[in-house]
Amino acid sequence: MAAGRHMRMILIGAGLLALAGCVGEGEVGSSMSQSGFGQATATNIGIETGQLSYAVDLSRRFASEVPNTVNFEFDSATLDEGARVTLRKQADWIRQFPEVRFRVFGYTDEVGSEAYNKGLGMRRAQAVVAFLSTQGISRARLEAVVSYGKTQPLIDVPTPERRNRRALTDVSGFVKGSPLVLDGKYADIIYRSYVESAAPKKDSGGSSGSSGSGGSGSSTGPAPIVK
């Protein structure tokens, strides 16, 4: 019987290690994998405590509620006005979740050398981090930027392609020491009402009442929970 239990523990351990190996460097959620020694252990702990699955859920929510990507001009790491508008939306969303950390990934198109594009992708990611930090987001919550250069194009063409010249913001985990995180109450974080869900909506004609809501001015739901 003891031998049977020992074998089951070996099989369970092997299964967890295999699951950890499946957490790869994909477009969304890739930031939740950790590099270097201890990756399998950290991933296993995340699975056992539920933190990893909740981080994946929050990553999906972030990508569905705000644009998670900005694009750049050819051979440039300068944020244009469209990129700044997108990043302000990201910052508005991020501020509602002070328990969450984010990481920015930089990419380029396939024109130029691999080494040059690695550096260009990093500069693009750094530009995003720098801008978000001006929007009230602590640099401590914006994790080390990563550059994939031209190794992960969205459109696999050797010519200039704007969609490949991008920086992507993604959830990377939870802030250690935050009260809800210490209590393991990840669901309270994930399902917190986002501020825009209760924001008044303008009607299609652009008219509005004194409150600017375009309606009767009466409340249609509870106020968002902001912590």
Tell me, yes or no, whether 19 lies in a domain: no
- pTM, to two decimals: 0.65
Has residue 7 been placed in a domain? Answer: no
pLDDT at 1: 52
Residue at 108 is within a domain? yes
- What local confidence, expressed as pLDDT, does residue 178 receive? 75
- The 3 state secondary structure assigned to the chain is CHHHHHHHHHHHHHHHHHHHHCCCCCCCCHHHCCCCCCHHHHHHHHHHHCHHHHHHHHHHHHHHHCCCEEECCCCCCCCCHHHHHHHHHHHHHHHCCCCEEEEEEEECCCCCCHHHHHHHHHHHHHHHHHHHHCCCCCHHHECCCEEEECCCCCCCCCCCCHHHCEEEEEEEEECCCCHHHHCCCHHHHHCCCCHHHHCCCCCCCCCCCCCCCCCCCCCCCCCCCCC
Question: Would residue 141 count as lying in a domain?
Answer: yes
Q: In what order do the strands lie in the sheet with 100-107?
A: 69-71, 166-174, 100-107, 146-149
Within-domain flag for 219: no
- Assigned domain for 208 exists: no
Q: Is residue 16 part of a domain?
A: no
The pLDDT of residue 144: 78
CA 12 to chain centre: 30
On whether residue 35 sits in a domain, the answer given is no
Q: Tell the burial category of 94 from Cβ atoms under 10 Å away from its Cβ (0-12, 13-18, 19+).
A: buried
How many domains does the chain contain in total?
A: 1
pLDDT of the chain, 227 residues: tens digit per residue = 555 554 444 444 444 334 333 333 344 444 444 444 444 444 444 444 556 778 888 899 899 999 999 999 999 999 999 999 999 999 999 998 888 999 999 999 999 999 999 999 999 999 999 999 999 999 999 987 899 999 999 999 999 999 999 999 999 888 877 777 766 777 777 777 665 544 444 544 444 333 333 333 333 333 333 33
Domain that holds residue 101: 53-198
Give CA torsion, residues 75, 79, 155, 107, to 10 deg: 70
Among 118, 117, 107, 186, which Cα is nearest to 154's? 107
Chain-wide mean pLDDT for the chain? 73
Sequence-distant (≥ 6) Cβ neighbours of residue 142 within 8 angstroms: 101, 102, 103, 104, 129, 132, 133
> Percent of the chain having pLDDT more than 70?
60
Distance, first Cα to last Cα, the chain: 51
Confidence at residue 56, expressed as pLDDT on a 0 to 100 scale: 86
Q: What is the CATH number of the domain that holds 152?
A: 3.30.1330.60
